[in-house]
Structure 1
Amino acid sequence: MCNDTTVSKLKNDFHYTLSKFSHELRNPLTLINSGLQMIASAHPEVKEYEHWDDVMDNLDYVKELLDELSAFNNAGHVKRENIDTCSYLRTILSSIKPTLDYLEITLETDIPDSLPSMALDRIRVRQMLLNLLKNAWEAVPIPGGKISFSVIPENSGIRIDIRDNGCGISKEQQATIFQPFFTTKESGTGLGLAVSKQIAQAHSGDITLESAPGQGTVFHIFLG
């Protein structure tokens, strides 16, 4: 059985390898992207090739995957600062409201004015919440989707519930949904929820969920 020191070393080795792997891939990827742009600039007719868009889409996907790997590798490193929790959360929701309105998805919010100020990493927590909200709006019917975002004080922190009326998640999927690279989406990287859970845990919290097929899903986010 591995002791805490061994587990910590394995985690550090894994993150180092992942960081080195991502870095080594970015350089040739940048050269490939630049080369393709030069070709398209010198020979515009190449864009008429029937598979040109597929090539560029695949290149964008690899770049997105590397960005997600970087986010996963750094999700546990947070820089916390005291913030006005109410104002901060309302600003995040305001930023996605136009998108949800366009998709005809109803957003219901319940953020009390009495929430305590908290020490959070502004960038990481925003990333986590947007990941979970995006996961919700991709699961709900369009139009007719509904997402609720509610917050309550809990112990020395807060609990955020993000609930949707989407397709739901089976018990089998729930068992692995937070594992890296697990996804049910054709174009997903499978890192969004893994990153989100790491961010919550780095804030002395966690993420759990309740769901059933055809009955929607609620994610409980605890931040301490």
Structure 2
Amino acid sequence: GEFGKLIKAFNTMAAQLKKNSAELASLEREVAWKEMAKQVAHEIKNPLTPMKLSVQHLKAAYRDKSEKFGEIFEKVTDTIINQIETLGRISSEFSNVAKMPKLNLQTIKLEECIRKATDLFDHENIKIEILGEIDDLKVNADEDQLKRSIINLIRNSIQANSSNVIIKVSDDKDEVSIDISDDGSGIPSENQDKIFELNFTTKTGGMGLGLSMAKRFMESIDGNLFLVKSDSNGTTFRIKLRKAEDG
């Protein structure tokens, strides 16, 4: 009777919902894989330009028989080896467990980490200045991830046609603030609340992917990354990290 029809309709609806749920889960997995692939591609692409420019600089020094060839050779090869090791870690982790590298938290010297990141841009058309008393500052972080976050922010500045980047470090008792400011074209106001979304991109490149990953990394170590300001005079991002106990 009517009750039987109701039961049948309910069972049909339950089966359809189960099917829809499975389809949605499958779609979410597919989207997640696509997002992960984009992230990995973005992470791999970042070091390639400075590596190429470093090799070109080395070739020019060799061709011109530069007196500083030995010094240039050491610096360029150190940079390339460092980046190849980073790329290798990303690749092997992605192949083995299909996720970005696990955090390797340790006490790191902030100045060394920042300089390793900025050294990659030595041969690019950007002036980078580091301000603040940072000689003895130490933070608890994953050095590779923090370095990649800083590289992403500088790369975004270059994409915004910046010619100058200032990295200002401030010691705030238990925390360290790192302000990364540029003189680029800025982020349009209508886009500023979207920049940390995973799939947000701008016309000049994949800003959102790197920023999304950087923000998630900072939050995972009890830190933060946020936009301080952005207008036609430039953009400032702030990284906040907890100081190491002996920092």
Summarize deviations over 1:150-198 as a string: whole Å, max 9, x none: 1111232211011011111122211111001111125537311101111
After TM superposition, the structure 1 stretch with the greater mean CA deviation from structure 2, 183-192 or 204-213, is 183-192
Match of 2:150 among 119, 126, 129: 129
Is 1:95 the counterpart of 2:120? The answer is yes
Quickly say closer, same or farther: Cα 1:160–1:20, change in 2 above 3 A. Answer: closer
CA distance in structure 2 between the aligned counterparts of 1:92 and 1:189, rounded to whole angstroms: 18
Aligned residues: 159
Instruction: Write the letter of the residue equivalent to 2:217.
Output: I
| Cα distance in 2 between the residues matched to 1:167 and 1:83 | 33
Report the equivalent of 1:176.
194
In structure 2, what residue type is equivalent to 1:140? Answer: N
Q: Which amino acid aligns with 1:21?
A: W
Q: Which amino acid aligns with 1:171?
A: S
Match of 1:86 among 111, 120, 143: 111
- Distance (Å, rounded) in 2 between the aligned partners of 1:86 and 1:164: 19
Contact 2:182 2:234 in 1 (8 A): yes
> Cα 1:182–1:206, aligned 2, differ >3 Å: closer, same or farther?
same
Q: State the one-letter code of the partner of 2:219.
A: Q
Q: Report if the CA contact (8 A) 2:177-2:238 is conserved.
A: yes
Runs of 4+ displaced beyond 6 Å: none
Instruction: Verify the 8 A CA contact 2:114 2:150 in the aligned structure 1.
Output: no
1:9-44 per-residue CA deviation (whole Å, 9 max, x = no partner) reads xxxx89x9369836xx8xxxxxxxxxxxxxxxxxxx
Aligned counterparts of 2:169 and 2:226: Cα–Cα separation in 1: 15
Q: Identity of counterpart residues, as a percentage?
A: 24
> Corresponding residue for 2:170?
152
Summarize deviations over 1:187-221 as a string: whole Å, max 9, x none.
Answer: 53731110111111112111111334312100011
Q: TM-score, normalised by structure 2?
A: 0.55
Higher Cα radius of gyration: 2
Q: TM-score, normalised by structure 1?
A: 0.61
Query: 1:7-46 counterparts in 2 under 5 A?
Result: 17=29, 21=33
Structure 1 residues 108 and 114 mapped into 2: Cα distance closer, same or farther (>3 Å)? closer
Q: Partner of 1:96: helix, strand, or coil? A: coil
Matched, 1:200 2:218: yes
Amino acid at match of 1:82: T
Give me the CA root mean square deviation: 3.2
**Preserved CA contact (<8 Å) 1:85 1:118:** yes
- Check conservation: 2:179, 2:236, Cα contact below 8 A: yes
Q: Which runs of 5+ in 2 are unaligned?
A: 1-24, 38-90, 243-247
Give 1:62's aligned residue.
none
Partner of 2:234: 216
CA distance in 1, matches of 2:142, 2:128: 24
Q: Give the C-alpha shift of residue 114 in structure 1.
A: 4.6
Q: For residues 32 and 192 of structure 2, what CA distance do their matches in structure 1 show?
A: 31
Letter in 2 for 1:192: G
